[in-house]
Amino acid sequence: MVRIGILISGRGSNMIALAEAVRDERIPNATVAVVISDQPDAAGLERARNLGLQTLVIQRRGRSRHEHDREVIAALKERDVQLIRLAGYMRLLSPQFIQTFPNAILNIHPSLLPCFPGLDAQHQAIDHGVKWSGCTVHFVDETLDGGPIIAQRIVPVLDGDTEDSLAARILVEEHRLYAEAVALVVSGKYEVVGRRVINTSE
């Protein structure tokens, strides 16, 4: 059984989609060990509790990133977490965090990386005038949204789109894609060759 820890900062819809995929065994052999938020008022916390998940709040409280991460790492280790999913966690991880869990931290980003990394990806896509955008699940390394790509899905950008309408269209695909990508990683049927993540189950 792979023990998953999920880090959130806000609404937590990707966290809920993952927890439901685990519950429904669309992600077999996995369990959600803990949901951790750096924000005490994150809406996702209440939603996680309603699903019967254990939740923790670990605030930054003026500490360095390193100090804050040290507490998060300890909480994950105490619960034997093997796989970490960032789900709208709006903090950069310290190098120490990434080195503690090599190739075991996944993130979802609402663009087709390497386009539009960082904040406000949907806004960046509209501003740039792209006709297609989407979402990307990738391993987290020490670069900003730059780790090896596990899976991507595309959506059209329509002429009348606002940032919100595009974000909503992408979010539907995020929920599906993240569960599929986590199922692949939990199954272990992949290889990382350079920057390429090869699916070996096919």
CB atoms near residue 74 (< 10 Å): 11
Residue of 36, 48, 108, 186 that binds ligand GAR (CB under 6 A): 108
User: 70-79: long-range contacts at Cβ-Cβ below 8 A with a sequence spacing of 24 or more?
Assistant: 70/96, 72/7, 72/36, 72/97, 73/97, 73/100, 75/34, 75/36, 76/5, 76/34, 76/36, 76/101, 79/3, 79/5, 79/33, 79/34, 79/54
| 109 among known catalytic residues | yes
Does 11 bind ligand GAR (CB under 6 A)? Our answer is yes
User: How far is Cα 15 from Cα 21, in angstroms, rounded to an integer?
Assistant: 10
Q: How near is the Cβ of 174 to ligand GAR at its closest, in Å?
A: 5
Q: How near is the Cβ of 88 to ligand GAR at its closest, in Å?
A: 3
Q: Which is nearer to ligand GAR, 5 or 110 (CB)?
A: 110
Q: How near is the Cβ of 177 to ligand GAR at its closest, in Å?
A: 10
Does 26 bind ligand GAR (CB under 6 A)? Our answer is no
Q: Which of residues 146-175 bind ligand GAR (CB under 6 A)?
A: 171, 174
What are the start-end ranges of the H helices in the chain?
A: 13-23, 43-50, 65-78, 95-100, 121-128, 163-187
Per the residue annotation, which of 109, 123, 128, 138 is the catalytic one? 109
User: How far is Cα 101 from Cα 139, in angstroms, rounded to an integer?
Assistant: 11
Does 3 bind ligand GAR (CB under 6 A)? Our answer is no
Residue of 34, 73, 87, 185 that binds ligand GAR (CB under 6 A): 87
Q: Which is nearer to ligand GAR, 88 or 147 (CB)?
A: 88
| Token reading at 133 | 């955008």
Stretch of residues binding ligand GAR (CB under 6 A), selected from 66-74, 108-116, 155-163, 188-196:
108-116
Does 121 bind ligand GAR (CB under 6 A)? Our answer is yes
Stretch of residues binding ligand GAR (CB under 6 A), selected from 18-26, 102-110, 125-133, 181-189:
102-110
Sheet holding 55-57, edge to edge: 55-57, 30-37, 2-8, 83-86, 105-109, 132-139, 149-156, 196-199, 190-193
Q: Where does this chain bind ligand GAR (CB under 6 A)?
A: 8, 10-14, 44, 87-88, 108-110, 121, 171, 174
Residues with catalytic annotation?
109
